[in-house]
Structure 1
Amino acid sequence: MGHVGRWSARMLRSLGITLRAQGTVHSGPVLIVANHISWVDILAINAIHPARFVSKADVKHWPFIGYPVASGGTLFIERERKRDALRVVHQIAEALKGGDIVAVFPEGTTSDGHGVLPFHANLLQAAIATEAPVQPLVLRYRDAHSAVSAAPAYVGDTSLVASLWATVTADKLVADVRVENAQGARHADRRALAEHLREIIVGRLNEGRA
């Protein structure tokens, strides 16, 4: 698992979060595509299999996830600069060519866990260009009182401190992570691929609530 994976698993336990995982991350190179709810997502994914994340730069200074972000070869993107995505696409492509596992959150921001925002397709071009597979990963949080816990959601005007407090005080918080089958990206249209991956994740989330 490596030191980042072990550290992430310990941090989840220290936060009072139980990790429940299904499926196996494809051996690299692979681009993991996940829905995004919380800063906890990075810990949960790394605890299953360490990956290089695409993240905004200030995340490396956050508590709990700053260490795995700084240690895991994270690719930082400046979302305020529209053309910065192209630079990061090239970096992801180079990482995939090198056999790495890279994880992205194509919603571009967090949701409350009840739904999945539209996927931005730009970063998927790296997998298409290198013919690396893409692998959908489904994140869900639940607690003793709700099938979709609001505790870890880091959305809207919620501060990091408030989100951290809600997380550590939640009653029997569980992070459910399901790794779906890897999908081929060769010759794919990136927008069609983005929608297909989103449909897989939404379908699994809806299935879990049925």
Structure 2
Amino acid sequence: MNVLRFTFRATLALSWVLIGLLTLILVSPFVGQRARLEIKRRWSGVLLTLCGVEVSHSGLPISQGPALWVINHVSWLDIFAINHVRAAVFIAKSEIRRWPLLGWLVAGADTIFIERASRHAVQKVGRAMQDTFERGQVVGLFPEGTTSQGYDLLPFYANLFEPARRAGVPIQPVALLFFHHGVRSDFAAFVGEENLMQNLWRVLGGKGVLIEVEFLPPVWTPETTPAPTRAELGRQAHQMLRQVVQKR
């Protein structure tokens, strides 16, 4: 049954990814920003459904204007789970650009790639974030820098809190909680030495995966004075998220 389920879902998901690529090429250049964001939001929801993944959300997401969403990182599914609520521009490691098909799709969806080996990577990403905020969009940041099993948080890299702080943009923590058949689980986590194909085999061949997206109160808004330092903002966001993700 796992083989049949994987084959069925993989075929549908691959077809949907190809449709997404065609949409980026043939439709996105000719429509406005609002339409592009709505296409991204709806497309992400359909992809998750085709992969057999359910998503629910709680809390009050910032629904209008620019914001920085600070998110714990568990899986390649994270981006689509967030986009399903409100389409965002994500900061991702440059290696993702080389993933077959998904990498092309992520690159075409305005993703900001960070070259971690570059001395000027943070400055370049900061400028790209500023441009995104000026367009009134949300930036999604995974400050752990890598994925985890989802039960705890790795240390945060707080450098990229600074562009939001300077721009006067609210900073909101967002917790991703993964469940498998109703129980907190690392079933869908993409960690360790596992490659993308191995993870796809497990996720698409399985069932009962649910991602709960919990939007926490902002750690900072422009009305808050004096403005905390980026290190203080990082500590506050880390504490708030850790309290949520450690719950079993």
Common fold by TM > 0.5: yes
- Distance in 2 (CA, whole Å) between partners of 1:10 and 1:127 is 31
Distance 1:137 1:67, change over 3 A: farther
- What does 1:32-51 correspond to in 2, within 5 Å? 32-51=69-88
* 1:63 Cα offset (Å): 5.5
Q: Assess, with a 3 A threshold, how the Cα gap between structure 1 residues 116 and 143 changes in structure 2: closer, same or farther.
A: same
- Percent identical pairs in the alignment equals 31
Unmatched runs of 5 consecutive residues or more in structure 1: none
* 1:183/1:24 CA distance change after superposition, 3 Å: same
Q: Please point out which of 230, 234, 243 is paired with 1:190.
A: 230
Amino acid in structure 2 at the alignment position of 1:205: V
User: Is the contact between residue 112 and residue 150 of structure 1 (CA under 8 Å) also seen in structure 2?
Assistant: yes
Distance 2:185 2:96 in 1: 23
- Residue 24 of structure 1 corresponds to which residue in structure 2? 60
Rounded Cα–Cα distance in structure 2 between residues aligned with 1:73 and 1:200: 28
Which secondary structure state, in structure 1, belongs to the residue aligned with residue 184 of structure 2? coil
Q: What displacement does 1:20 show?
A: 1.1
Partner secondary structure for residue 92 of structure 1: helix
Structure 1 stretches of at least 4 aligned residues deviating more than 3 Å after TM superposition: 60-68
Aligned to 1:171: 207
Indicate the residue corresponding to 2:129 in structure 1: 92
Count of aligned pairs: 207
Separation of aligned partners in 1, 2:198 and 2:105: 21
| Counterpart among 12, 17, 20 of residue 48 in structure 2 | 12
Q: Secondary structure at the match of 1:22?
A: strand
Once residues 65 and 34 of structure 1 are traced to their aligned partners in structure 2, the CA distance between those partners, rounded to angstroms, is 20
Structure 1 residues 180 and 90, CA gap change in structure 2 (3 angstroms): same
Equivalent residue number for residue 8 of structure 2: none
**Contact residue 219 and residue 236 of structure 2 kept, 8 A:** no
Matched, 1:120 2:160: no
Residue 142 (1) aligns with residue 179 (2): yes
8 Å CA contact 1:36–1:105 kept in 2: the answer is yes
Letter in 2 for 1:59: I
Q: Deviations over 1:156-184 (max 9, x none)?
A: 10100011111112331101111112232
Shift of 1:148: 2.7
More helix by share: 2
> CA 1:28 to 1:67, structure 2 compared with 1: closer, same or farther past 3 Å?
farther
Give the counterpart of 2:187 among 130, 133, 151. 151
